[in-house]
Structure 1
Amino acid sequence: MTAVRNVHERVIDAPAAAVGALLDRLSAADDPIFPTPAWPRMCLDGPLAVSADGGHGRIRYHVTAYEPGRRVRFDTPPGGGLDGYHELTVAPLGAERCCVRHVLECETRGFFRLQWACVIRHIHDTMIEEIFDNIERAAAHGVARPMRWSPWVRLLHRLGWARPQAVASPAAAQLIRTSLDRTDYEDAYRMELLPGLPRDPAAWTGILRDAFPVLAQAGGELLLDVNTAGLTARASILIDERYVTLSTAVKVDGLRARLYWGVVKRVHPFMARSMFRRTHRTLALAAPSAGERSRAAALRASATGSPNAG
């Protein structure tokens, strides 16, 4: 068993009250500081409060202490290999400055000792510094030296990125459901629509690499004509509140099309998942950070005279 203590802190040129207000929005739909969509979002089973359960990605925890605007502590479940807590605090340093501090203390057992040293620590350190970056973006209007990923973190991020889940074609995907008089093959894959990812299905057409004609767009769904080598094929990109879903429908007519599809259908699922995953990650890395989105929302609210401005 190995004891771990990991501490990060940063002085922010903003009042503690302003930074504390950002802390209070952790895990909310408009969470301004957790670094998503580049990383899995923080999800709790209710509002930020003592006894709330949740986590991010594979890391699970529950809230054991919460002082609004000042402190939140998360404890990890016992027996998970990383037994301990992590805590985020905000302390004033005068009227216009404060210190944000994150402390992780845990005990690692067995294989988790190696996993902490080689994988988790590198990702953890990067994410915490990105949380601090987002606090500065949202409360202090800019980051002098934003966190830069090491080559090792980039590799870990690529290898660990989520993979599409095979599902039935969604009932809401009406365009592809009615696009062919019959289908000889159908499949669908979905991935989580993380905060900050595009909500316009047209932004996701890069999944298919080639510039296929758009046949229709309605109700959050985009229908593409992906005919090739005699196949009559359609692809649909559907955006809803939780997921982006890629669906395919194929109609095979004629000997040439049957021979072609007999080969292609063996690699199609792998290629579809691979291209979908690549596009999902590319868009996540290109998206504005949580701090940038929060700052932009505050500026829009200020311009419209909203009482929630800032």
Structure 2
Amino acid sequence: MRVLNIHKRTLNQPKSEIAELLKTLATENDRIWPKEKWPAMRFKGGINVGEKGGHGPIRYSIEKYNPNEIIQFRFLKPTGFNGIHKFEIKELSKEKTEIKHTIDMNTAGKGTIIWFLAIHSLHNALIEDGFDKLENNFSKKHKKSKWNFWVKIIRKLLAKKRK
């Protein structure tokens, strides 16, 4: 199954500010990834091309990295996830920047089933939580996207399974 999943957020900040925060991804002081609510993104050797890591059961390797523009990952697991996901930043004006997260993959077999039943909804919530965290670096208002009913149910089921 072809999957093209895109999330975008426009921030009233210069690109240089967003690029600085992108450099914190997968570090102890991560100011983008919502590790307070979701499994942390981890790479043993840090953010470097060729490093392998991931979050929760999702594994990937870093394929491209330019902290001023893009970080791109190639899926390794789960089986049946064939493609990439990436964060990109783009200057819209001197004081406006777009952050974009894209999954571009083909799923097969079990990968199609788990994408359709669980990962798709969880992924959408995770990315919006991450964009909220990023935006909250610059705002006194605390942005907090709401999870849909399905995300809440899946998270409860997964929490029970871990106990």
Matches within 5 A, 1:188-227: none
Would the alpha carbon gap of residues 84 and 142 (structure 1) be closer, same or farther in structure 2, given more than 3 Å must change? farther
* Match in the other structure for 1:113: 112
- Which of these residues, 134, 143, 146, is aligned with residue 148 of structure 1? 146
* 1:6 maps to 2:14: no
| Residues matched between the structures, number | 162
- The CA RMSD over aligned residues, in Å, is 1.7
1: distance between equivalents of 2:139 and 2:75?
33
Q: Secondary structure at the match of 1:104?
A: strand
Contact residue 34 and residue 130 of structure 2 kept, 8 A:
yes
Q: Which has the higher contact order (CA 8 A, sep 6+)?
A: 2
CA distance in 1, matches of 2:117, 2:42: 25
Between the aligned partners of 1:76 and 1:18, the Cα distance in structure 2 is 28
CA distance in structure 2 between the partners assigned to 1:47 and 1:24 by the alignment: 10
Q: Does 1:157 align with 2:149?
A: no
> Larger radius of gyration, structure 1 or 2?
1
- How far did 1:25 drift? 0.9
Query: 2:50 touches 2:62 (CA, 8 Å); kept in 1?
Result: yes
Whichever structure has more helix as a proportion of its residues is 1
Q: Which amino acid is 2:35 matched to?
A: T
Q: TM-score, normalised by structure 2?
A: 0.93
Deviation of the 1:111 alpha carbon:
2.3
Matching residue of 1:80? 79
Offset of residue 61 of structure 1: 0.2
Q: Residue 15 of structure 1 corresponds to which residue in structure 2?
A: 14
Deviation at 1:68, TM superposition (A): 1.7
Structure 1 equivalent of residue 56 of structure 2: 57
Residue in 1 aligned with 2:26? Answer: 27
Superimposed CA distance per residue, residues 62-109 of structure 1 (whole angstroms, 9 cap, x where no aligned partner):
100000222100001278211110010111111111000111011111
Q: Mind listing any 5+ residue stretches in structure 1 that lack a counterpart?
A: 164-273, 275-310
Q: Could you say which residue in structure 2 is the equivalent of 1:98?
A: 97
**Stretches of structure 2 lacking an aligned partner (at least 5 in a row):** none
Q: TM-score of the superposition, structure 1-length normalised?
A: 0.50
TM-fit CA distance, 1:118: 1.5
Identity among equivalent pairs (%) = 29
Q: Hey, what's the Cα distance between the residues in 2 that align with 1:107 and 1:52?
A: 22
Residues 5, 142 of structure 1: CA spacing in aligned structure 2 closer, same or farther, 3 A cutoff? Answer: farther
- Report if the CA contact (8 A) 2:34-2:126 is conserved: yes
- The CA deviation string for residues 268-295 of structure 1, in whole angstroms up to 9 with x for no partner, is xxxxxx5xxxxxxxxxxxxxxxxxxxxx
Which structure has more strand as a fraction of its residues?
Answer: 2
Return the alpha-carbon distance in structure 1 between the equivalents of residues 141 and 121 of structure 2: 21
User: Which range moves more in the overlay, 108-117 or 66-75?
Assistant: 108-117
Report matched runs for 1:240-255 at 5 Å.
Answer: none
